[in-house]
Chains A and B, each alone.
Chain A
Amino acid sequence: MKPVVEVENLSKLYRLGGIGASSLRESLETLLGKKKTRPAPGASDARSGSDPNSFWALKDVSFSVNPGEVVGILGRNGAGKSTLLKILSRITEPTSGRAILRGRVVSLLEVGTGFHPELTGRENIFLNGAILGMKRAEIAAKFDEIVEFSEVGKFIDTPVKRYSSGMFVRLAFAVAAHLEPEILLIDEVLAVGDAGFQKKCLGKMDEVASQHGRTVFFVSHNIAAVSALCDNVILIEGGRCVMRDVPSKVISHYFSSILPEDQASDGQIFWSGDAKAPGNAEVSLRGLKLCGSAGVPQSTFEADEPFSVEIYFEIKQRLRGARFNLSFSTLEGEIAFVATDHIYQFENLEPGEYRSVCQVPGKLLNRRKYRVGLHFGIPGDRMLIDQADYLEVTIGGVGNQATIFPDQAWPGIVCPKIEWQVERFSGAFQPSKIG
């Protein structure tokens, strides 16, 4: 049996100068030799082509897929998975290489593409179906099924602008779910709707793949869905296909590869002169640094890993009873915890340079971003450095509750490691007698 999808050395070169609509003036200037050189973000990495203003979003990607396979595509943002899907959907052309798709293809890069608010649900089903490549007769044949699946019922002849967002999404997915292509390309569409409907959609997808023998490409950040639905997963990193294996292996590789790149980002802030440094005539903040066990500043830590916050400051006039309050808060501004060095601080701070280090234990924080802020003052007397956030720290990894969904938030501002004990318990439960 021939593979249903064959991808050979597929590559896509993006010109950074060309991103965003260019203007006629720019082109004329280029033509006349007054070259516009836009700074190329990240162009120095390995993906840049010979021209510094271009980079390979995809480079020599090859794989093949057999009929009926459900293939997940995993990768960080910007790894190239959307580009791959766009090329396979024929939305944009590859720069080189080729792909052969044997069968009708439907790509769902979003649900409800082309829905028109003025049209009724009924009219939009036909419009959306036709945009996705269905014939009018096919849509008509499936119409009742689509309406039933969408649970929109009697509102089918109401303009969709009056729909709730839930109804809108349900109708849109219902159309998508009833397409009958041999190859289905799906991007993130399951990240919509309420949990109940999502479950229904996942069930429908599973049915499409397993019972109807269709080939499904599934790009998602929902690792749970990827591991539940996919037969195998392609891992894309830096525009290259780096791994193809069963979901469990790829997912664990994916997690282990998440951290290194982020460590390059700062995790520290320093002020060289007094002019900009927070403080006043008595004290001045010199810097703030987040360090893991390696002792180098970094801004991303595993949830179970302890790290330290180092505060560098200079005392210019003798201070008595001053202390730091260090805060960790969410991006929304909710305080996770505040730690103070009050009982550790010098009673009298003589002029000079100091360092105050807070050890943040591992197995405490949730997998999310926090802002690290502080203030310095003498309780009951006066504030010397006002409260402000200075750094951002990302807590990642598996998380303290050993959940494997990286982009699905675990509830709670913090997420401490909690010990459990589960055992077989013989004997009836008896309320303990008190006294």
Chain B
Amino acid sequence: MAEVKAPPNYEIVIEPSRGWFRLRWDELWEYRDLLVILVQRDFISRYKQTLLGPLWHVLQPVVMTIVFAIVFGRIAGIPTDGIPTPLFYLCGLLAWNYFAQNITAGGATFISNAHIFGKVYFPRLIVPLSIVAANLVAFFLQTIPFALFFIYYKVTGDHAPEVQLTWRLLLLPLPLLHIAVLSLGISLLMSASTAKYRDLVHLNQFIIQLWMFATPIIYPISKIPEHWKWLIWANPMSVPVEAFRYILLGRGSLQVSEIVISVLVAIVSLFAGIAAFQKVEKTVVDSL
């Protein structure tokens, strides 16, 4: 029988923590099985028991795309850079939905897990990490409608230069990782703030909605007046969304300086998020 013994001289010291940053990688690694099981739990509870669960992730971007096509495409007449409208919107939503789902769930970490956190210790970071990992399942489900439209345009032969699978597809994990790091950082900041100020939950919902319109999802960057462009690049989600478009559809305006800054912002937000999260997690149970 497999007996796993605790290492000898295993010692836990409990005392008021000092310093503002103390990431314990060894402890996170120790709890890696929990991370995997939480991802599994999420998968089972969201997809196994219901038919609508997985279907929702396919339908939601399609419905959004139809709405966008009518409101912004037809009525407002916003162009899509020569890319077929459904592909343009679906591509942006692919990136955006992963981000939005991460910060919606991750931003409520302390509130939705108050009960468990009040009863058991484990590194709290495991929870937002598991959310970012589990939402990858939803991400892959959302690639289905995109792929279907992609194949449709490929077969019908319109827009041939845009609808082209190239070696660039291999780069897709990079903007995905970029979004994962950024959304983890944002959700850590959000969960730290909502744990302390419960009323911020509503504000966060609002921020997520507004943020989408500030991100080039329903409009191409080429349509932004030159003197407003800095505003778009100030949004850390612009680069990964543009990168998605560049990789999947061959269109997108990206410069190295913008990419570097955006990646740095994501990393800084992650570290700031970890610091804020850890400051709150020490005694959050006392006030939840």
Contact = CB atoms under 8 A, between A and B. Distances in A.
Interface of A: 14, 18-25, 27, 86-105, 107, 109-110, 113-114, 116, 118-119, 123, 126-127, 130-138, 140-141, 159, 181-182
A92 B116 contact: no
A88 B38 CA distance: 25
Contacts of B34: 130-131
Contacts of A130: 31, 33-34, 37-38
B123 to A, nearest CB: 10
B2 A90 contact: no
Contacts of B115: 113
Interface residues of B, number: 46
Nearest to B44: A119
Nearest to A181: B6
Contacts, number: 136
Contacts of A23: 197-199
Contact of A93 (B6, B16, B118, B122): B16
Contacts of B63: none
A45 B118 CA distance: 27
Contact of A116 (B33, B45, B195): B45
Given A22-B197, A93-B17, A99-B14, A133 B31 contact: yes
B212 to A, nearest CB: 24
B76 interface: no
A123 B38 CA distance: 11
B156 interface: no
Interface string B159-185: 000000000000000000000000000
B44 A123 contact: yes
Given A98-B13, A123-B44, A138 B4 contact: yes
Contacts of B199: 23-25
Contact of A97 (B12, B15, B285, B288): B15
A18 B116 contact: no
A104 B15 contact: no
B22 interface: no
Given A93-B283, A113-B119, A114-B116, A27 B197 contact: yes
B10 interface: yes
A131 B6 contact: no
B3 A107 contact: no
A232 B242 CA distance: 66
A103 B286 CA distance: 26
A24 B121 contact: no
Contacts of A105: 12
Contacts of A91: 117-121, 285
Given A18-B286, A136-B33, A137-B4, A116 B16 contact: no
B287 interface: yes
A95 B41 contact: no
18 contacts: A18-B286, A23-B198, A27-B197, A88-B14, A98-B14, A98-B15, A100-B12, A101-B11, A107-B121, A118-B44, A119-B41, A127-B37, A127-B41, A130-B37, A131-B120, A133-B122, A140-B2, A141-B1
Contacts of A110: 119
Contacts of A126: 37
A134 B37 CA distance: 11
Nearest to A110: B119
Contacts of A19: 286-287
A97 B115 CA distance: 26
Contact of A92 (B15, B45, B198, B283): B283
Nearest to B196: A22
Contact of B41 (A18, A87, A116, A137): A116
B74 interface: no
A25 B203 CA distance: 13
Given A126-B37, A130-B34, 13 more contacts: A20-B287, A21-B195, A21-B198, A24-B200, A92-B283, A118-B49, A119-B44, A123-B41, A123-B44, A136-B33, A140-B2, A141-B1, A182-B10
A335 to B, nearest CB: 40
Nearest to A139: B33
Interface in B20-71: 31, 33-34, 36-38, 40-41, 44-45, 48-49
A21 B287 contact: yes
Contacts of A127: 37-38, 41
B223 interface: no
Contacts of B13: 98-101
B229 interface: no
A224 to B, nearest CB: 25
Nearest to B15: A98
Interface in B274-288: 282-283, 285-288
Nearest to B118: A91
B205 to A, nearest CB: 15
B79 to A, nearest CB: 41
A99 to B, nearest CB: 4
B49 A18 contact: no
A20 B36 CA distance: 32
A102 B11 contact: yes
Interface in B254-288: 282-283, 285-288
A94 B286 CA distance: 11
Contacts of A137: 2, 4
A135 B49 CA distance: 26
